[in-house]
Every structure is written in C-alpha cells, then in structure tokens.
Structure 1
Amino acid sequence: MSNIHVYSEIGKLKKVLLHRPGNEIDGVIPQTMPRHLFDDIPWKKGAQREHDCFADILRKEGAEVVYIEDLFRKSFSQKGSREGFIKKFLDKHGIFNPHLREQLEAYLLCLSPEEMADKIMSGIKKSDLGPKKQEDFSRFFPEEEYEHYYTEPLANLYYTRDPGASIGRGMSFHCMEKLGRNLETVVWQHIFEHHPDFAKDAPMWLSNESHFGIEGGDIAVFSKDVIGIGCGLRTRPEAIEQLAGNILPQDTFKKILVFTIPKDRKFMHLDTVLTMIDHDKFTIHPGIEATLNVFEISLGGSGELVYKDQTDKVEKVLTKALNLDSVQVLRCADGSFIDSEREQWNDGTNTLAIAPGTVVTYSRNEVTNELLRRSGIKVLEMPCGELSRGRGGPRCMSMPLVREDI
C-alpha cells in the first residue's frame, strides 16, 4: 500500500500524522491571540499531556502515529534543501528586507538541520539575532513593543488537518488565510517533496503556491467515489474548481459535493459542522441546516467540469451520492439549542472516525457523546481543557495518511 491511501472518512485508521504541541505555543500572548486564532492563552505542559492521551488512544486502536516535527527534522538530507526551504519560507513570510533576510539566512544555516527545524516551528525571536545591521534603515522604525519575533511561531501546527490533505493516493497543499498557518504549508510541502517516505510517486493535487484559499478542515473523503468540500470562511470556489480539475481525471473519485457554509468563525470549516462517523451516520450542527446548500461537480463527456445545484436536503443528497437506502444525521447535543451552541463552541461535531462506528471526541461534549452512544457509536473520549483553546477538535488535530478500504 502507498504511503498515502485515504478513500474514506471511516475506514480503519492505519497511519496518522500529528504534531505534539511544542515551544511554538509559548509565543501566543494576549496581543497576538487573534492572529494566532486562539481565544485564550494555552498552557504547553497541559496541552502536551492531553495530546499524549490522544496519541495513546489512536495507538491502542491500531494506528501508527507519526509526528510532523520528526519528519521535518529529517527532511534536509538533500544537498541544497535547507537553502531552498529558507528561501520559500522567507518569501511566504513576506520578509524581503535584504539586510534582515541576510541575517536570518545566516542564523538558520549556522544551526544543525534539527535545530533549524525546531526554530522554524517555534519562531525566530529578535533576541536570537541581536540588533539590526547599522546599514538597515528600518532600525529607526521600531515595531510595537510586544512584537518579539522576526518569524511567526507556528502556534496552530498541532491542527494538522488544515495545511494539507490526504485525498486518495495523493496530497493537496493549501493557501491559507492567516500568515502563521500559511507558513505551515511551506513545512508540509517541503516534507512531501524531500522526506524519503513521501518524495516518491504520490501526486500533488494542489500546491501552496495557489492564489486561492482552501483548508483541509473543509475537505472530507466520503468514499472512493465522493469527496465533500465546504465553501465558506476559509475555502474559495476557485480553489475547489482547481482541485476538482486536478483530481477527478486522475483518481477514482466521480464527484465532489460542495457545501456552502456561512462565513462565520464558529462555522470555520466543514468538519466543524458535519462529519461522517459510520457507513450511514453523520453528525451535524443543527444551526447550519437552514443555510446549507449543496452543489455537485463531476466530469462531462469531454473531460470538462460540470456543475449541478442539488436542491434536496442534506440527508437526501448524501443518501443518493453514497448509494445508500438512507442516512442518519445526528444533531449536535441532540438538537437542544443551548447545549448545541455550547458544545459546538468546543467542537462537538468535530469527531474523528478511526473505524466504522468508532470515534474520538472531546470529553467535555457530554450531551453529544451520549447521543452518539445511544445511536450505536463507540465513543473514545479525550481530555481537552488546553487543546480546545485553539478552537479545534480531534479531527482538526489529525491527518490520516493511510486508511483501510471499506
């Protein structure tokens, strides 16, 4: 089996990519929380303990856990790969001041490859380099006093679902809205192109050099024939069109269902409002149903993309697309307005299926978890007091690399 093989949301999870929270989250302060997408200051040791529990659950259920930080540290074996990465990283960061750029390049290349990888993830502080060069005119124009970094800490790196996506036998890499998140895609794509486990024959469906935004939380592989993509706050229709044009002619997928979702942070991605948990079961946030429209993209007879507006309710659309007799849609917190609003805030719908009818969820979403159990779903709960401060659940924190076919 290939190093990337994902043809469903529910096939038994065999290999998964995670990131254990590290020094990068120590760079989140109240003044920078909005751009780091945190609603509170995370505590690293607590987040690490919770994340270790998450990884242990996955291992006990038979999944091989690999960490992006380990892959990144081992991705610089090729001659010139460090220099090439630094150029792409600084370009994506928008650092074009020649004096500062020279200092940053020299600093990073003085480190070992492993140290350089760690510094890229945690962020380069101004104190790491010392004062700017005397010939650098920008030294006369200091930034805000709370700006202590030259390069952004990759504080959201533990949400491995978004910078890239495993789809079928290949990967897509994404143009993301926030700078810190966009820098993560440079790390991901570098690993894909240079680490020996991936630099082989797996296709790249999208490059992070695209100008149109798309994020992995909006992408769901429902079956070997059907992909679902959310179009809302973080994913643009032009990016969906690009992905469809690349993947439909080259893999088993026959259609893409595009779900329009409101441009609101509480509906950030498709997987915050709709996830597949069994052959015929989905979780959904009830607050989304009234505004959820679905379009279908498929290939025409001459290979052109064909678009169709699906006017049925989401249950009927999913039933037809997956060739089922019916589907059961389980509403977050059993449809209770107050409970669903509370549990949606902490990703009650963001379940990670690790086998058909077996999911990992946050323990704090008690009403939704009980509903899942009553509906025949095996629920494996994980702690989340610190991890949830970044507004993402178990699916957000994982990128399946290999799943068994169903």
Structure 2
Amino acid sequence: MKPSPLKVTSEIGRLRSVLLHRPGKEVENLTPDLMARLLFDDIPYLKIAQEEHDAFAKVLRDNGSEVLYLEDLAAEALEDRAVREQFIDEYLAEANIQGDGTRAVLRDFFLSMDVKPMVLQTMAGVRRTELPREELKFMSLADRIDTDNPLVVDPMPNLYFTRDPFATIGTGITLNHMRTETRNRETLYAKYIFNHHPKFKGCDVPFWYDRTETTSIEGGDELVLSPNVLAIGISERTDAASIEKLARKLFSDDRSTFKQILAFNIPKKRAFMHLDTVFTMVDRDKFTIHPEIEGPLQVFSITPSCCGINIEEERSTLENVLAKALDIPKVTLIRCAGGDPIDAPREQWNDGSNTLAIAPGEVVVYSRNYVTNQILQDKGIVTHIVPSSELSRGRGGPRCMSMPLVREDL
C-alpha cells in the first residue's frame, strides 16, 4: 500500500496543498423559504461571491499552495460508470425523495450527463423545471403530492465551506457525520474521493471517524495544534460522544502521533457554531479569539490510559491551558476587534476570529474585519486580505472555506 499523500500536523505549518469548492449554482437555488433549513441567514450574489472566491484561491496559489477543487476531484473519482451509478444511488437515497417515480427519473437524469456536469448538478440540486416534462408521469401518491415544490432535490449551498465534511488530521481524515441532514450529504463526495480517486486509492489513509457513526462531528470544530495535540469543540454541531470515539481511535492506532485532545465546551448557539468561529491559531504562540470564549469555559484534557482514555477537567486560564499543551512559556490571545463592545460582535458576525494560517504568523483574513485585521498587524501578523462582501453571508471565514491536505512540519 502506498503511503498517505496527506500530512497536517499543525494549524500554522506552511500550506502546500488545499481543497476548495468554488461557489456554484447551488447558491442560486437558495430561496428565502429555504434559508433556515439550509443554514443560511442571507443569499449571496453568486457572481461576486465567485470573484471573491477566485481572489482567495489566487492568494493561496501566489503563496505556494496547490489549490484543488472538490468538484474536480469528485468528477475524477467517478469516471468509472459503475462507481458513478453507485454514487447516484447513494446520493438519491440520502436526498429524502419519497416518490419512487421521482427517484427513477432523477437517476436517469443524472446518469445521462457527462461526469463533471453531473457532479455540479448534484451539488446544485434539481429544479422541477429541469426534468423532462414528458417523464413527469409519476404513479405514487408521494410523487403526486410533492409537485408544488419547485425543487425536486435541495441544493448544497454550504459546500464552499470545505472545512466541515471531512478534516485532515496527521496522515488521515475524519470523514464526518454532520449535524444536519442537508449537510450530511456533503460528506458523500469525500467518501468517493478517498475510496476511488487515483490520488488516494490504494494509499494508506486512515479514517479516524466515519460518516456512518450516529453522533455528529464537523471539521470546523477540529484544530490541529501540534503533532501531539488536537483541540476539538463540543458545540452546536459536534457531540461529546464523537470526541470520545475519535480519541479512542487516534490513541490506539500506530499511524497516529496524537497524545492529547483538548475538548472545549463552547456555548451552543449560532455565534459559536464551531470552535474555529471563535478561536484560531495564527502563530506558534498566538491565537485569535472571540472575547466570550475566555471564560468561564470548560476545557477537558483527554489522554490515553491503560484502559482506553483518561478525562480530566483543566482548571486554569485559557492561556495557561494552551501554553501547557504546546509546551511553551506563554501564549497571546488576540481578541476580535480588541473586545470592543460594538466592533467585536459586528466583526465576529463576519468571522473576524476565523483566520486561515498559510505559514507561522501569516494569515488570510476578510477585508470587512478591518478593526481585527489592524490589531493582527500590530501584533506582527502578516495579513493577506481578501474581498468578502458576499462570501461572508454564509457565516464562514477563510478557515471555513479551506481544507488543508498538506502542510510543512514546523
């Protein structure tokens, strides 16, 4: 078996390969009635969102990163007709389509396409007007009563947040079980990429977690602090039970170097959706934070033991917990907008604490968070500023929009 092509042992090692998804038609299939169910607060303007995303990708390329796209890898993984049919059958089974006739028409609709357009269509969802009218002669009651819905299959507008469906940890991944049904379908692409894409097929890529689990975990809650330490949020989207499962798997596998997980019990509300929306690492000893995460906050240390795992509550300040885990004298916490009572919540809403490190002390940030950006610069952090008026409407920042596949070791 070939060695794993993945390697991420920190949050800040120089970024060498990263997975993105350029927003597509799925964003234009959002409607006001769908926003809450599909986890959006507003509808981005696609043309500008794509321009902003292209600027983001250019910054990464210009600084030495290979940029891969989810839609391209998925299409390449599905070149084989039999694999493509298997994917569509699984996709339709998870799309919550009740009518047998509708499923049959959709299967033919997808499989009649070339592979790349098919992948993009599965991401975009399907409008009823896109199906051949002469085939809309459904037999079942479920087919008939659903005909007022203009969408036959829901879109996946969250896909441009590639951080969440899977997460690279060391030389393996967590293939995540997402909290919501609408986002759990997103993990199918990673499943087929890692099982069938030539870049990964036949490679020793451990799955530290699998989408078939019944408890949820999402990549925005998973931070690789060092080759030995993970930080994971117990959040609105990640269950404590999932962290225990992950810990047992990591600590018992010789391919893992991790010896400790810090589990942060963060508030279960929209502003604290994932740990990385309130906490990211920007340098060897510096972190951006939302001021509310400083405390009082429960942090648990999970370590291996002879019986499996040992769990102890950390009773110290956040600074001391992080310094101890990283084995450094102290850390600096950089508050979003300096903790200002007006600027901080405004910039936090636009992911002012969600940075993507591309090297130690060098991060990508949103332009609209100018107060936080200036504070980062004053602390010696190099900021690559990308436009963000439309991308930010999805409530995710540069870290949310990227899944590192390879980082240099520190």
What is the TM-score with the length of structure 1 in the denominator? 0.96
| Aligned mates of 2:77, 2:98 — CA distance in 1 | 25
1:105, distance to aligned residue in structure 2 (A): 1.4
Equivalent residue for 1:337, pick from 328, 341, 345? 341
Q: Which moved more, 1:175-184 or 1:348-357?
A: 175-184
Deviation at 1:162, TM superposition (A): 0.5
Structure 2 partner of 1:348:
352
What residue ranges of structure 1 are gaps of 5+ in the alignment?
none
The question of whether the paired residues in 2 share the 8 Å contact of 1:132 and 1:139 is answered with no
Give the structure 1 partner of residue 84 of structure 2: 82
Q: Which residue of 1 aligns with 2:224?
A: 221
Alignment partner of 1:243 out of 246, 252, 271 = 246
Q: How does 1:157-176 map to 2 (within 5 A)?
A: 157-176=159-178
* Structure 1 partner of 2:95: 93
Give the aligned CA root-mean-square deviation in angstroms.
1.4
1:367 equivalent in structure 2: 371
| Count of aligned positions | 403
Distance in 1 of aligned mates of 2:246 and 2:152:
33
Following the alignment from structure 1 to structure 2, what is the Cα–Cα distance between the partners of residues 120 and 398?
21
Following TM superposition, by how much is the alpha carbon of 1:90 offset from its aligned partner in structure 2, in angstroms? 1.8
Q: Distance in 1 between matches of 2:232 and 2:170?
A: 14
* Structure 2 runs not aligned, ≥5 long: none
Q: Write the deviation string for residues 307-353 of structure 1: whole angstroms up to 9, x where unpaired.
A: 11111111111011110011111111112121111110000000100
Q: Determine the structure 2 residue equivalent to 1:123.
A: 125
The answer to whether the Cα contact below 8 Å between 2:229 and 2:262 also exists between their aligned partners in 1 is yes
Quote how far apart the aligned CAs of 1:125 are.
1.9
| Cα pair distance change 1:231/1:294, threshold 3 Å | same
Classify the secondary structure of the residue corresponding to 2:217. coil
**Which residue does 1:326 correspond to in 2?**
330
| Sequence identity (%) | 47
The equivalent residue for 2:150 is 148
Which residue number corresponds to residue 258 of structure 1? 263
Q: Deviations over 1:159-199 (max 9, x none)?
A: 00011100000111111123331111111211111111122
* In structure 2, distance between residues paired with 1:211 and 1:150: 27
- With 347-356 and 120-129 compared, the bigger mean Cα shift is at 120-129
SS of 2:338 mapped into structure 1: helix
| DSSP-derived class of the 1:153 partner | coil
What's the counterpart of residue 297 of structure 1? 302
Quote the residue 1:44 is aligned against: 46
Structure 1 residue matching 2:36: 3-state secondary structure: helix
Q: CA separation in 2, counterparts of 1:2 and 1:100?
A: 40
Question: Which deviations, in whole Å up to 9, do the C-alpha atoms of 1:342-371 show, x marking residues without a partner?
Answer: 110000000100000000001111111111
- Decide which of 270, 281, 287 is 1:282's aligned counterpart: 287
Contact 1:232–1:260 (Cα < 8 Å) also in 2: yes
- The answer on whether the counterparts of 1:212 and 1:236 sit within 8 Å (CA) in structure 2 is yes
Cα offset, 1:134, TM superposition: 4.0
- Counterpart of 1:398 in structure 2 is 402
Aligned to 2:190, what secondary structure does the other structure show?
A: helix
The answer to whether the Cα contact below 8 Å between 1:259 and 1:293 also exists between their aligned partners in 2 is yes
Aligned position for 1:309? 313
1:231 aligns with 2:231: no
After TM superposition, what 4+ stretches of structure 1 lie above 4 angstroms from structure 2? Answer: none
Q: Is the 8 A contact 2:4 2:200 kept in 1?
A: no
The match for 2:139 is 135
Is contact 2:38-2:157 (8 Å) kept?
A: yes
| 1:65 alignment partner, SS class | strand
Instruction: Provide closer, same or farther for how the CA distance between residues 320 and 114 of structure 1 changes in structure 2, counting only shifts above 3 A.
Output: same
Cα drift, residue 86 of structure 1: 1.4
Aligned equivalent of 2:193: 191
Structure 1 counterpart SS, 2:214: coil
Structure 1 residue 79: deviation in Å? 4.8
CA contact (8 A) 1:78 1:194 kept: no
Aligned mates of 1:224, 1:193 — CA distance in 2: 25
Contact 1:219/1:230 (CA < 8 Å) preserved in 2?
Answer: yes
Q: How big is the shift at 1:108?
A: 1.4
